A and B are shown apart, each in its own frame.
Chain A
Amino acid sequence: MADNTHSKPVHHREFEKKQHREEMKQQVLTFALMILFTLIAFGMVIMEVNSYFIIPTLIILAVVQVAFQLYYFMHMKNKGHDMVALMMYGGAAVALLTIITFTSIIWW
């Protein structure tokens, strides 16, 4: 076992802390955007925006919000998440097929 974890220079640790702070700032910004999307979605329904596009818009708002959650809160934007992306996109693809099958063939 190398001894390098014991002798990390102080300035390096300061650099890491700064990095963490930067990431935290992005995450707080992400949170603000997620709140905004939620407000828009609820607002549209409460104000009874009567439009053909309201359901697609609601779904797009949800998908964007979930992408923020996955990429920023769950760190999928960081390095070393290739397998993670494969599993989540694989899961999402099967999920979509499942929903299409259930709503079109099984219980129509």
Chain B
Amino acid sequence: MSSEDVLNPKHMPHDPEKATLEGKNKFIGFWFFLGGETVLFASLFGTYLALNGSTQGENTPEHLFGLELVFIMTMLLLTSSLTSVYAMYHMKNQDFKKMQIWLGITVVLGLGFLGMEIYEFYHYIHHYEFTFRSSAFGSAFYTLVGFHGGHVLFGLCWIVSLMLRNQKRGLNLYNAPKFYIASLYWHFIDVVWVFIFTVVYLMGKVG
């Protein structure tokens, strides 16, 4: 039996993402990476919490932030997390087309989120002259939220390239782990965002 046949069985196993050794390694290695990402973001959160009182002029968290935009962004990202769950549901049922459709919806929602974040930054810079260099609060804010936005951008590129690359291949044991891990990354982005909207925006408004 050639490796091509092994990777394309007639009936997919129950967990196509962990059916091969490579899949298992990707799975465990990726969670190791997520543990490290947790610490990385913690250092940015710690910096923000320590420096968000070092403001300049009127540009304080309470004065700057608008909750309407943040609420819509939260809903977009949370919904995109559910749509990627749907994508993995169809992956397990070996329905490649439906998986691609749900991943596509995830990407659209993620793009919406990213667009709104860019608008938010633009708004702060042009209407409040609140930049990376304005104050320690500014530096900490843009580093933390911008780093998360960078993760969103990377996740979008990742999912889109997986979708395009495997469009004609269909689902097999070679690419199932890849899709699964990209969806884990997408969920982790939402995990970080939950703490950002709580710590930065909501707690910033409470003062």
Contacts and interface: CB of A to CB of B under 8 A. Distances in A.
A54 B206 CA distance: 8
A1 B86 CA distance: 32
Interface stretch (B42-50, B111-119, B147-155, B162-170): B42-50
B80 to A, nearest CB: 11
Contacts of A101: 46
Interface string A57-68: 011011001100
Interface string B159-188: 000000000000000000000000010011
Given A38-B78, A94-B42, A96-B42, A6 B11 contact: yes
A91 B34 contact: yes
B63 interface: no
Main secondary structure of the interface of A (DSSP, over half): helix
A95 B174 CA distance: 34
A45 to B, nearest CB: 5
Interface residues of A, number: 53
A1 B46 CA distance: 51
A91 B31 CA distance: 10
B14 A73 contact: no
Interface in A36-56: 38, 41-42, 45-46, 54-55
B49 A58 contact: no
B21 interface: no
Contacts of A95: 38-39, 41-42
Given A38-B75, A62-B199, A69-B194, 14 more contacts: A5-B10, A6-B11, A13-B11, A24-B89, A28-B82, A41-B197, A61-B198, A69-B81, A73-B81, A73-B85, A84-B28, A96-B42, A99-B49, A102-B50
5 contacts: A5-B10, A16-B14, A54-B206, A95-B38, A95-B41
